[in-house]
């Protein structure tokens, strides 16, 4: 690597240019339009901690109420609301978002990237998370807090038994906040796949990146069942559709299946990033590379899959045949194996290294003890007969808190202390931190060990009080007292962190002497992380290469010279991490806030029953998203770019592995999971029905209109293929691309409208029977996707017309065409399910 | 060893457990279908056998191919790593499938 040394003036010029290009902008508008990953990620973490405090406060009330039988701290309604909000907050507004915040902050730095590949998307996610969380909590203002439990079982939450707005606040607010999870999944997968530093092939990726990759795929596949279930229940509550009412062909168990199909992977969605944190901290404090890197990757991947085979273990007591329970029981036990592989790898690393017991490490030890205990009670609960004994008792409460607090909170605190010097440039204080740690760990065990006993003695969960005859009042009193010690400990940790953030001892560079790339970023962290994109040759580059840190801060390496005045990212190959492309990112923008604001207005209109107003909000929303798509990246980007050091690379618009391409692939995975859940609902309802379609709802056979849909879809497919061929063939004749793209757009538009209209003819109103409801929903779902495909085709056709897309830069058409093919394929499958299946059965 | 150019793609790593997942879903669906419709139990056992054997064959094929690839001399380090990972995951997926199907040999499908 021979680069002529830069003159000091040139060096200053480049650094100032980088600073200017990546800056958030001044004042409040600068903050409202910020999209930088460090800024947004810190907001995720702070918002998550705030929600944790609120959720924790609720749990204090719960504990007070349960301190003694017959206590009257909360009346039964209030107790139900607090239990619901506590669970919901901790799961959806704290655990998942805070780990996404960690990932968003750390991942680019660990991977040697300057930002995440879709900065505006992360900003949009955070606004949705914030507004969704506030939406949910605003229910308290209207005295309509949800009280059906964080699992929202029907029929308790349907319009008959919960006539108020409580469940609506839950369904809409949580789904709104989940947008953040889903967008983060797209963002993080693409970041890990294509934005790693040159040389960081898949053997050298930090284990945190592996954990986040697996977690993000799990979100992409695991969140859609819940989103779908929420949509179905809201359709039932708001418009009288029938999915869960057995009187009209529905089935309440459908809710439980969909909910836990999300709910169990969720536990690992929370745990895997925390495990990734542990895998980063342990080698640093053991002062040696991790033992069994490949085994940990193996464990992460297999956990990611196995955790999808556990969901029925939440339903062992609902009356499913034993063999089905045995399948899930087997998977529930099997998942303990990869998890323990990781635990053994961490222990082996400590064993083989020279452990250094500093504050972050103390929390890791706390994690190991608490999590292993929770895992063991988990294996106990995986046994069906034991589960029948302990089901719905406080034993389960104890188990899940051991797993979640052990699996998330301790690694979280370890991570907060560990990365504090990176974020703030200051060290944590060992003295206060250690006292707080002991307060937390002792408080924790004394709170939750007694719950195992109260549960085994028969104390039910989710009930506002218990009988004195059980003889568990002293144990409960102990739990409550210790719960307050735990709370004091947690607050002490947060106060300690806050004080250190502002007044702590100044930290040296890389104070823990860690080996991974995030510690090569200078403090205070520049918005662009690295002045030059570093190149790495090992899993712990800072241990091998002492000059790396200094080189990365010097603007003379890869992408060191910001000649284009744009935010640039280096894209590398998925397996081998060889440089492949220069990615031009979007800068600060009002669009994320505006879009999230319009969604908020739309949902507020919806929940207050103003459906027309809500529907009218779709127009500005679509306009904003079109504007968003139109202004993405850099329309004028050249096909090839000089990346410095003699490397000339294509821009993303000309690259096969472009981030936008992978984003549409992951998006199709997410929509595919939604669609699969809906098809599952169709067949589940069919399985429980005596007659399908029911009498008087037609026979499901396709009519003339249905065949017309197929013809239109075929036309759209043909149009798309023709446009692609024309784009490749002759770059100058734009009309040959635009015309078939427009034909495809019009054809899918017509197919969508036809699809929305036909169910009115047969099977008739969706309120009559579950069959009609599910047919309507399938048709509507496919139609919405077709409409999106039409919009995409129109937009890209316009861009071809403007010469922004051509044969040398085909990315946007590739994205539109991929989605078009997906939407058409999905509509065909949906068509076959609705029209062929009833004939074939 | 130019016969197989895989794994070129990272997502290949997901294939053994994708087979496990498919097998799991199919076995569970067959059991649910047979019991809900009151079909003869032979249908359940037969159906499970019909999906289980190809699933084992598929994972074995994936695993052996990856193993050979990991042993080959002309493979770059990161690709050898991916191949080893796929081989190990195949072994685990086979174990997981054995674990899943074991209860079917011990229990009556619809009790």
Cβ neighbours of A575 in B, within 8 Å: 7-10, 78-79, 82
**How many angstroms from the chain centroid is the CA of residue A179?**
8
The pLDDT-based confidence of A255 (bands split at 50, 70, 90) is very high
- With an 8 Å Cβ cutoff, is A384 touching chain B? no
pLDDT at residue B5 in the model: 41
Which stretch of A161-165, B35-39, B64-68 has the lowest confidence by average pLDDT?
Answer: B35-39
Beta pairing partners, A426: A506
CATH number at residue A328: 1.20.210.10
The answer to whether residue B6 scores a pLDDT higher than 50 is: no
Could you tell me if residue A117 is inside a domain?
Answer: yes
- With an 8 Å Cβ cutoff, is A687 touching chain B? yes
Cβ neighbours of A339 in B, within 8 Å: none
Cβ neighbours of B81 in A, within 8 Å: 201-203, 294
Nearest chain A residue to B89, by CA? A298
pLDDT at residue B18 in the model: 94
Interface touch A687/B104, C-beta < 8 Å: no
The sign of the torsion formed by the CA atoms of A767, A773, A775, A780 equals positive
Could you tell me if residue A699 is inside a domain?
Answer: yes
- With an 8 Å Cβ cutoff, is A305 touching chain B? yes
CATH number at residue A811: 1.20.120.80
- With an 8 Å Cβ cutoff, is A341 touching chain B? no
Q: Which of A324, A332, A385 to mutate to test the interface with B (most CBs of B within 10 A)?
A: A324
CA atoms of B108 and A252, how far apart (whole Å):
26
- Residues contacting A312, CB < 8 A, separation 6+: A257, A260, A320, A324, A325, A327, A328
The answer to whether residue A806 scores a pLDDT higher than 90 is: no
- With an 8 Å Cβ cutoff, is A336 touching chain B? no
- Candidates A740, A749, A761; CA nearest to A712 is A749
- Residues contacting A28, CB < 8 A, separation 6+: none
pLDDT at residue A260 in the model: 95
Cα torsion A808, A814, A817, A823 to 10°: value is: -170
Give the number of domains in chain A.
2
What's the gap in Å between the CA of A727 and the closest CA on chain B? 27
The pLDDT-based confidence of A2 (bands split at 50, 70, 90) is very low
- With an 8 Å Cβ cutoff, is A657 touching chain B? no
Contact A472, A388 (CB under 8 A): no
Residue, of A51 and A320, whose pLDDT is higher? A51
Q: Which of A473, A488, A503 is the last residue of a domain?
A: A503
CA atoms of A663 and A209, how far apart (whole Å):
17
Contact A310, A261 (CB under 8 A): no
Q: Which residue has the tokens 């902008």?
A: A25
CA atoms of A296 and A346, how far apart (whole Å):
9
The answer to whether residue A402 scores a pLDDT higher than 70 is: yes
What single string gives the DSSP state of each residue in A547-592? THHHHHTSTTSBT-S-TT-S-EEEEE-TTT--EEEEEEPP---SHH
Q: Which of A471, A503, A535 is the last residue of a domain?
A: A503
- With an 8 Å Cβ cutoff, is A385 touching chain B? no
Could you tell me if residue A800 is inside a domain?
Answer: yes
Nearest chain B residue to A194, by CA? B10
Nearest to B99 among A298, A334, A338 (CB): A334
Interface touch B99/A330, C-beta < 8 Å: yes
Interface touch A202/B10, C-beta < 8 Å: yes
Interface touch B103/A575, C-beta < 8 Å: no
Beta pairing partners, A641: A649
In whole numbers, what is the pLDDT of chain A averaged over residues?
A: 94
**How many angstroms from the chain centroid is the CA of residue A260?**
16
In percent, the amount of chain A with pLDDT more than 70 equals 99
CA atoms of A162 and A159, how far apart (whole Å):
5
CA atoms of A82 and A789, how far apart (whole Å):
42
Residues 485-514 of chain A with CB under 8 A from chain B are none
CA atoms of B95 and B92, how far apart (whole Å):
5
Interface touch B108/A323, C-beta < 8 Å: yes
- CA terminus-to-terminus distance, chain A: 68
Interface touch A330/B103, C-beta < 8 Å: yes
Q: Which of A312, A316, A327 to mutate to test the interface with B (most CBs of B within 10 A)?
A: A327
Nearest to A575 among B78, B84, B110 (CB): B78
Interface touch B103/A329, C-beta < 8 Å: yes
CA atoms of A587 and A30, how far apart (whole Å):
11
- Residues contacting A778, CB < 8 A, separation 6+: A678, A679, A682, A830, A833, A834
Could you tell me if residue A157 is inside a domain?
Answer: yes
CB pairs under 8 A between A and B: 104
CA atoms of A296 and A294, how far apart (whole Å):
5
Could you tell me if residue A651 is inside a domain?
Answer: no
pTM confidence score: 0.96
The answer to whether residue B7 scores a pLDDT higher than 80 is: no
**For the stretch A775-809, what's the b/e string if a residue is b when 16 or more beta carbons lie within 10 angstroms of its beta carbon?**
bbbbbbbbbebbbbbbbbbbbbbbbbeeebbbbeb
CA atoms of A655 and A250, how far apart (whole Å):
48
Interface touch B96/A575, C-beta < 8 Å: no
**DSSP code of residue A245:** -
Interface touch A574/B10, C-beta < 8 Å: yes
pLDDT at residue A4 in the model: 60
Could you tell me if residue A61 is inside a domain?
Answer: yes
Across A286-307, average pLDDT: 96
Could you tell me if residue A593 is inside a domain?
Answer: no
The pLDDT-based confidence of B72 (bands split at 50, 70, 90) is confident
Which stretch of A191-195, A460-464, B7-11 has the lowest confidence by average pLDDT?
Answer: B7-11
What's the gap in Å between the CA of B75 and the closest CA on chain A? 12
Interface touch A309/B24, C-beta < 8 Å: yes
CA atoms of A490 and A504, how far apart (whole Å):
19
Burial-class residue A300 by CB neighbours within 10 Å (0-12, 13-18, 19+): buried
Interface touch A575/B84, C-beta < 8 Å: no
User: How many residues would you count in chain A?
Assistant: 841
Interface touch A306/B96, C-beta < 8 Å: yes
Query: Strand, coil or helix: what is A26?
Result: coil
CA atoms of A744 and A713, how far apart (whole Å):
8
Interface touch B21/A308, C-beta < 8 Å: yes
Contact A447, A486 (CB under 8 A): yes
The answer to whether residue A1 scores a pLDDT higher than 50 is: no
CA atoms of A447 and A249, how far apart (whole Å):
45
Contact A48, A97 (CB under 8 A): yes
Q: Which of A461, A476, A503 is the last residue of a domain?
A: A503
Helix axes A336-352, A322-334, angle to 10 degrees: 10
Cβ neighbours of B88 in A, within 8 Å: 294, 298
Backbone angles phi, psi at A302, to 5 degrees: -70, -35
| Residues of the domain holding A434 | 37-503
Q: Which residue has the tokens 């003339």?
A: A704
The answer to whether residue B1 scores a pLDDT higher than 50 is: no
Cβ neighbours of B77 in A, within 8 Å: 201, 203
User: How many residues would you count in chain B?
Assistant: 111
Could you tell me if residue A620 is inside a domain?
Answer: no
Question: Apex CA A693: angle with CA A687 and CA A695, to 5°?
Answer: 125
Q: Which of A296, A302, A385, A580 to mutate to test the interface with B (most CBs of B within 10 A)?
A: A302
Q: Which of A216, A257, A309 to mutate to test the interface with B (most CBs of B within 10 A)?
A: A309
Contact A177, A128 (CB under 8 A): yes
pLDDT at residue A138 in the model: 96
Nearest chain B residue to A310, by CA? B24
pLDDT at residue A812 in the model: 94
The DSSP bridge pattern shows strands A640-642 and A579-584 to be unpaired
Backbone angles phi, psi at A274, to 5 degrees: -65, -40
Across B48-57, average pLDDT: 96
Q: Which residue has the tokens 């009257």?
A: A72
Interface touch B110/A333, C-beta < 8 Å: no
Q: Looking only at Cα atoms, what is the longest distance across chain B?
A: 56
What's the gap in Å between the CA of B16 and the closest CA on chain A? 9
Token readout for B39 is: 């079909």
- Residues contacting A538, CB < 8 A, separation 6+: A204, A544, A545
Q: Tens digit of pLDDT for each residue in A175-219?
A: 999 999 999 999 999 999 999 999 999 999 999 999 999 999 999
Residues 205-244 of chain A with CB under 8 A from chain B are 217
CA atoms of A544 and A525, how far apart (whole Å):
23
SS3 content of chain B, % helix, strand, coil (to 5): 80, 0, 20
């Amino acid at each position: 690597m021979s680069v002529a040394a830069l003159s000091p003036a040139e060096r200053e010029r480049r650094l100032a240019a980088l600073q200017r290009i990546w800056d958030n902008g001044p004042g409040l508008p600068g903050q409202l339009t910020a999209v930088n990953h460090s800024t947004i990620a810190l907001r995720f973490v702070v918002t998550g901690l705030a929600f944790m405090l609120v959720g924790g406060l609720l749990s204090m009330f719960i504990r007070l109420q349960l301190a003694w039988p017959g206590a009257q701290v909360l009346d039964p309604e209030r107790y139900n609301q607090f239990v619901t909000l506590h669970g919901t907050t901790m799961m959806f507004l704290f655990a998942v978002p805070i780990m996404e915040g960690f990932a968003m902050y750390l991942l680019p730095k660990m991977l040697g990237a300057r930002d995440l590949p879709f900065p505006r998307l992360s900003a949009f996610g955070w606004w949705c998370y914030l507004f969704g969380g506030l939406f949910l909590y605003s229910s308290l203002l209207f005295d309509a807090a949800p009280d059906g439990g964080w699992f929202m079982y029907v029929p308790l939450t349907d319009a008959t038994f919960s006539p108020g707005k409580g469940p609506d606040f839950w369904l809409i607010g949580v789904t709104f906040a989940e947008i953040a999870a889903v967008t983060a999944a797209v963002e993080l997968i693409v970041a890990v796949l294509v934005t790693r530093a040159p040389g960081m092939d898949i053997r050298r990726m930090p284990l945190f990146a592996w954990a986040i990759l697996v977690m993000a795929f799990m979100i992409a596949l695991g969140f859609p069942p819940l989103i779908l279930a929420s949509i179905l229940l809201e359709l039932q509550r708001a418009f009288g559709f029938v999915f869960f009412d057995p009187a009209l062909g529905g089935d309440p168990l459908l809710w439980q299946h969909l909910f836990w199909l999300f709910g169990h992977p969720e536990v690992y969605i929370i745990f895997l990033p925390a495990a990734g944190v542990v895998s980063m901290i342990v080698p640093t404090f053991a002062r040696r590379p991790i033992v069994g890197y490949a085994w940990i990757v193996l464990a992460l991947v297999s956990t990611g899959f196995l955790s999808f085979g556990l969901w029925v273990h939440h339903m062992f007591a609902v009356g499913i045949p034993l063999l089905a329970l045995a399948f899930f029981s087997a998977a529930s036990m099997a998942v303990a194996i990869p998890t323990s592989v990781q635990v053994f790898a961490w222990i082996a690393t400590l064993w083989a290294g020279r452990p250094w017991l500093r504050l972050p490490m103390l929390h890791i030890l706390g994690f190991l003890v608490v999590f292993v205990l929770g895992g063991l009670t988990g294996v106990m609960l995986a046994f069906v007969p034991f589960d029948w004994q302990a089901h719905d008792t406080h034993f389960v409460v104890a188990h899940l808190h051991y797993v979640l607090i052990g699996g998330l909170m301790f690694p979280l605190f370890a991570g907060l202390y560990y990365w504090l010097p990176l974020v703030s440039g200051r060290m944590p204080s060992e003295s206060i931190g250690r006292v707080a740690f002991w307060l937390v760990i002792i408080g924790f065990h004394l709170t939750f060990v007694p719950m195992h006993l109260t549960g085994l003695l028969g104390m039910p969960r989710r009930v506002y009080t218990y009988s004195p005859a059980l003889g568990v009042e002293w144990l409960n009193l102990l739990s409550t007292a210790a719960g307050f010690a735990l709370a004091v400990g947690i607050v002490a940790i947060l106060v300690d962190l806050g004080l250190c953030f502002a007044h702590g001892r100044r930290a040296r560079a890389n104070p823990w002497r860690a080996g991974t790339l995030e510690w090569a970023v200078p403090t205070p962290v520049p918005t662009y992380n690295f002045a030059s994109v570093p190149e790495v040759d090992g899993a712990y580059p800072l241990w091998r290469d002492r000059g790396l840190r200094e080189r990365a801060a010097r603007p003379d390496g890869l992408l060191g010279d910001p000649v284009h005045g744009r935010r640039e990212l280096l894209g590398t190959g998925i397996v081998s991490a060889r440089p492949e492309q220069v990615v031009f990112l979007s800068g600060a923008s009002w669009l994320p806030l505006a879009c999230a604001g319009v969604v908020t207005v739309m949902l507020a209109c919806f929940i207050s029953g103003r459906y027309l107003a809500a529907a009218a909000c779709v127009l500005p929303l679509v306009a904003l998203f079109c504007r968003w798509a139109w202004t993405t990246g850099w329309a004028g980007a050249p096909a090839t770019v000089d990346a410095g050091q003699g490397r000339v690379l294509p821009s993303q618009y000309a690259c096969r592995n472009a981030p936008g391409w992978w984003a549409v692939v992951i998006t199709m995975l997410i929509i595919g999971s939604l669609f699969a859940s809906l098809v599952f609902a169709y067949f589940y309802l069919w399985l429980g029905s005596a007659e399908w379609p029911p009498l008087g709802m037609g026979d499901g056979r396709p009519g003339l209109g249905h065949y017309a849909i197929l013809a239109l879809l075929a036309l759209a497919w043909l149009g798309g293929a023709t446009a692609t061929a024309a784009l490749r063939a002759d770059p100058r004749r734009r009309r040959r691309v635009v015309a078939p793209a427009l034909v495809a757009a019009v054809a899918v538009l017509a197919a969508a409208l036809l699809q929305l209209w036909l169910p009115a003819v047969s099977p008739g109103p969706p309120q009559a029977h579950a069959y009609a409801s599910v047919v309507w929903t399938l048709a509507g779902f496919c139609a919405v996707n077709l409409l999106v495909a039409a919009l995409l085709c129109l937009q890209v056709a316009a861009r071809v017309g403007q010469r922004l897309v051509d044969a040398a830069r085909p990315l946007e058409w590739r994205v539109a065409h991929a989605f078009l093919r997906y939407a058409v394929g999905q509509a065909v499958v949906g068509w076959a399910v609705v029209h062929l299946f009833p004939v074939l059965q | 060893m130019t016969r197989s150019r895989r794994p070129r793609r990272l997502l290949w790593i997901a294939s053994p457990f994708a087979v496990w997942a498919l097998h799991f879903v199919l076995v569970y669906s067959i059991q649910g279908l047979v019991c809900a419709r009151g079909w003869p139990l032979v249908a359940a056992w037969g159906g499970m056998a019909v999906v289980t054997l190809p699933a084992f064959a598929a994972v074995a094929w994936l695993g052996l191919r990856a193993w050979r690839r990991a042993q080959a001399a002309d493979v770059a380090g990161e690709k050898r790593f991916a191949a080893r990972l796929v081989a190990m995951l195949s072994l685990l997926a086979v174990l997981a499938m054995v674990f899943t199907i074991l209860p079917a040999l011990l229990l009556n499908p619809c009790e």
